[in-house]
């Protein structure tokens, strides 16, 4: 038992929800077993909510909204500052929780999952110092006001990161929230609720109800007292939430699936572009909606790219996520593991060229949801592995003959969340980036920017997270004519 699991068990949080500033027992008796994907064994049971739990949480958030929305920006920033500090103070506790609940290597949890999550809180805090909630337009005042009570639905793959990406800007905007984390990775969410409590969050401003999508997720989406839903998840889940929300005509912000391209232009430095591209595709073991899992390569360079890609993949260390030497742990859950295995089989059936990896676990791992980092080459754009989201460590190398064709292939997807372009001539790189239909484009592997708006075109969703744009999702626009004389 890790210290994070021991802490949650001893505190009694596993069987409770955080509602109206208190840890409360659920109304019903439903529970879910949290499985450690490295051992495939149960860790703990957590309580699952029902419609009555949702009612209590929404009522608490509604009651708290008037006071919180009128709290000066400096007061909201002060709370976020305390939350940010506590997240960093408890980094190791969060890292251990994330490792056991969804399999991220402990080194990656410490380096990325937790500190990047803390950055969302910092950015939300800092934005309050510069954002104008009222501005003049002639004699009219343009006011930006908190939308109200927000239901936040988060996924299992970046469990803390996705929570802070929503909670931070929502609270900064003056909204109150009810969080429904994934029932598959709820431990870090419970720890986050404890942080909110210890930071002195006013009762009802932040509430947490664990539960399933069909019960708690749908309950929030359809609730007439919830003014907005923000969901990160699969496109299928996003559609269901939007349908449930439509009856009450509430705002729905969706960050959904992706099949992101990585265009390697002919003048790119392949020795840099290809290994970094493999690393980006397999970040979080490919369990990221914006992972660039389609590598587009000039046909004349395919052979060299295959060698470089195989070499990069062979350096990954898949194994016990608590080991310091491990770079990639297991797949987060059994359904996702089986999906990945099935799609690797599809790639073989479609006669794509297997460069490295393949079905099954790595040879030295007999237990655990471990997948082999897999690279296919000579992938045609009509193959399923070229256009279906796999959400795992499977990279497709697709040849192109001209840059125009590369752009066409990049846009030949129902998704539009992220994209990458690599090349030496920066003007060409910029031109290609401007032709790609996606919410973000990364040029020559830049540093992550927590202020860069993130969100999708097409079936990757709508709305934006991060930066000022992320906070504006939680704001309404009011025009007051004649305000200025």
Across the chain, mean pLDDT equals: 97
Give the per-residue pLDDT at 164.
98
Give the per-residue pLDDT at 172.
98
Give the per-residue pLDDT at 480.
98
Share of the chain above pLDDT 70, in %: 100
**pLDDT 10s digits, 54-86:** 999 999 999 999 999 999 999 999 999 999 999
Q: What angle do CA 329, 333, 338 make, to 5 degrees?
A: 100
Give the per-residue pLDDT at 363.
86
Give the per-residue pLDDT at 59.
98
Give the per-residue pLDDT at 140.
98
Give the per-residue pLDDT at 113.
98
What string of pLDDT tens digits covers the 485 residues of the chain? 789 999 999 999 999 999 999 999 999 999 999 999 999 999 999 999 999 999 999 999 999 999 999 999 999 999 999 999 999 999 999 999 999 999 999 999 999 999 999 999 999 999 999 999 999 999 999 999 999 999 999 999 999 999 999 999 999 999 999 999 999 999 999 999 999 999 999 999 999 999 999 999 999 999 999 999 999 999 999 999 999 999 999 999 999 999 999 999 999 999 999 999 999 999 999 999 999 999 999 999 999 999 999 999 999 999 999 999 999 999 999 999 999 999 999 999 999 999 999 999 998 899 999 999 999 999 999 999 999 999 999 999 999 999 999 999 999 999 999 999 999 999 999 999 999 999 999 999 999 999 999 999 999 999 999 999 999 999 999 999 999 98
Give the per-residue pLDDT at 2.
87
Active site residues: 255, 289
């Amino acid at each position: 038992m890790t210290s994070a699991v021991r802490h949650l068990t001893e505190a009694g949080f596993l069987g409770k929800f955080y509602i109206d500033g208190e840890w409360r027992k659920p109304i019903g008796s439903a529970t879910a077993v949290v499985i450690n994907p490295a051992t495939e064994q149960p860790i703990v049971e957590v309580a699952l909510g029902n419609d009555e739990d949702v009612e209590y949480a929404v009522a608490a958030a509604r009651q708290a909204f008037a006071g919180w929305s009128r709290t000066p920006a400096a007061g909201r920033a002060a709370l976020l500052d305390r939350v940010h500090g506590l997240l960093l103070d408890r980094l190791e506790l969060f890292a251990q929780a994330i490792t056991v609940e969804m399999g991220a290597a402990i080194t990656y949890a410490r380096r990325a999952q937790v500190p990047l999550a803390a950055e969302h809180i910092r950015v939300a805090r800092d934005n309050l110092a510069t954002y104008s909630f009222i501005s003049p337009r002639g004699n009219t005042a343009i006011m930006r006001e908190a939308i109200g009570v927000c239901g936040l639905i988060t996924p299992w793959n970046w469990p803390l990161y996705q929570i802070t990406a929503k909670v931070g800007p929502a609270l900064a905007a003056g909204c109150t929230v009810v969080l429904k984390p994934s029932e598959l990775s709820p431990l870090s969410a419970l720890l986050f609720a404890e942080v909110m409590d210890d930071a002195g969050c006013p009762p009802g401003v932040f509430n947490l109800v664990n539960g399933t999508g069909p019960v708690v997720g749908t309950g929030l989406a359809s609730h007439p007292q919830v003014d907005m839903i923000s969901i990160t998840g699969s496109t299928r889940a996003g559609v269901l939430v939007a349908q449930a929300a439509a009856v009450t005509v509430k705002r729905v912000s969706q960050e959904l699936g992706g099949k992101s391209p990585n265009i390697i232009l002919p003048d790119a430095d392949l020795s840099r572009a290809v290994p970094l591209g493999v690393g980006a595709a397999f970040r979080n073991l490919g369990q990221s909606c914006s992972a660039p899992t389609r590598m587009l390569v000039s046909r004349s360079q395919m052979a060299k790219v295959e060698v470089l890609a195989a070499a990069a993949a062979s350096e990954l260390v898949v194994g016990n996520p608590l080991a310091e030497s491990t770079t990639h742990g297991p797949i987060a859950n059994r359904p996702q593991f089986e999906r990945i295995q099935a799609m690797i089989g599809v790639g073989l059936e479609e006669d794509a060229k297997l460069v490295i990896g393949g079905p099954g676990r790595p040879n030295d791992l007999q237990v655990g949801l471990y997948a082999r980092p897999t690279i296919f080459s000579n992938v045609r754009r009509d193959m399923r592995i070229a256009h279906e989201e796999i959400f795992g460590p499977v990279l497709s190398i697709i040849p192109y003959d001209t840059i125009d064709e590369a752009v066409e292939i990049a846009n030949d997807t129902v998704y539009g969340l992220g994209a990458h372009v690599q090349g030496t001539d920066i003007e060409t790189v910029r031109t290609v980036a401007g032709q790609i239909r996606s919410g973000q484009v990364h040029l020559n592997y830049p540093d992550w920017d927590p202020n860069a708006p993130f969100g999708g075109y097409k079936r990757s969703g709508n709305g934006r997270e991060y930066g000022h744009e992320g906070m504006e999702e939680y704001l309404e626009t009011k025009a007051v004519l004649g305000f200025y004389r």
